[in-house]
Amino acid sequence: MDLKNIELKNSVNSWIEAILDAVFPSSCRICGNKLDINRKACICLSCWNKIRIITQPACVSCGKQLKLQHELFCGDCSRNKMSFLDNRSAAVYDDVMREAIHLFKYGDKRKLGKHFGDLLVEYLRQNGALDGINAIIPVPLYKNKRRDYNQSRILAEYLGEEFNLPVYNDVLLRVSDTRAQHGLKKEERIMNVQGAFSVRNAGRIKQAIVLLVDDIFTTGATADECTRTLLAAEANSVRVVTLARGE
């Protein structure tokens, strides 16, 4: 099936879903209330509005929400320097955002990608993080763990289209079948991803300022290891953008 037919099929499916939802309204996957026209895919507007957007002050290095206006760095970044220049996250990873990202990743709710993409775009337009960027690269999944889609790739491609930047999905590869980072201590997270990535087609990023895109930033272990791999392949520098940041 060629691209035009695929696009037509997706468009028809979207219309069918819209009609079915209008006739047989579905429920919000978070609170259970009936969805209306203001929904964000499978999430009602009321739940969506509970997402906590990160505001200033935020750590200039990792993007963590801070409490005191005079603070520049969080405690971790005051003690340890990451390999990337900085991370910017749109929202705090708690409550609704945690459930929404889980639906996006594991609930086959890829339509949330558009709404998450819009959230990221608006945040970046207000808070920067794209100055001087030459290329966008998503954090990859391991080949044997790939679902129907990579949520980080969806976000990266959305940003690439909105900001007219090239997205390279075949440069950074995950070559090791690592454990899920969730539930691991910081030191375990670091060890878990060591040597987990490699670069192909390195010429595309030589001396480039790369924007690395992922869904969640917690300790920064994955972003840091990806950055080290990209810098070893002669990228000039790496900045990171993530949908949500752990507290």
Q: What is the number of H-type helices and E-type strands within the chain?
A: 8, 6
Per-residue pLDDT at 22: 60
What's the pLDDT tens digit per position in 130-164?
Answer: 889 999 999 999 876 556 789 999 999 999 999 99
pLDDT at 2: 46
pLDDT digits (tens, 9 = 90+) for 74-87: 999 999 899 999 99
Give pTM, 2 decimals: 0.86
Tell me the H-state helices in 49-146: 75-79, 95-106, 112-127
Q: Which amino acid is at 232?
A: A
The pairs formed by 30-33 with CB atoms below 8 angstroms and a separation of 24 or more are 30/96, 30/99, 30/100
* Interatomic CA distance for residues 234 and 84, integer angstroms: 13
Tell me, what's the pLDDT at 43? 94
| pLDDT, mean over the chain | 86
Predicted confidence (pLDDT) at residue 106 exceeds the cutoff of 80: yes
CB atoms < 10 A from the CB of 153, how many?
Answer: 18
Residues whose CB falls within 8 Å of the CB of residue 17, separated by 6 or more in sequence, listed in order: none
Q: What's the pLDDT at 3?
A: 41
Give the pLDDT confidence score for residue 229 in this predicted structure: 97
In tens, the pLDDT along 3-27 reads: 444 445 455 555 655 665 665 568 9
- Non-local (6+) Cβ contacts of 7 within 8 A are none
Pick the residue with more confidence: 26 or 186?
26
Nearest one of 48, 98, 84 to 244, comparing CA atoms: 98
Average pLDDT value for residue range 169-175: 93
Query: Cis before residue 138, ω within 30 degrees of 0?
Result: no
pLDDT band at 70 (very low <50, low <70, confident <90, very high): confident
pLDDT of residue 227: 97
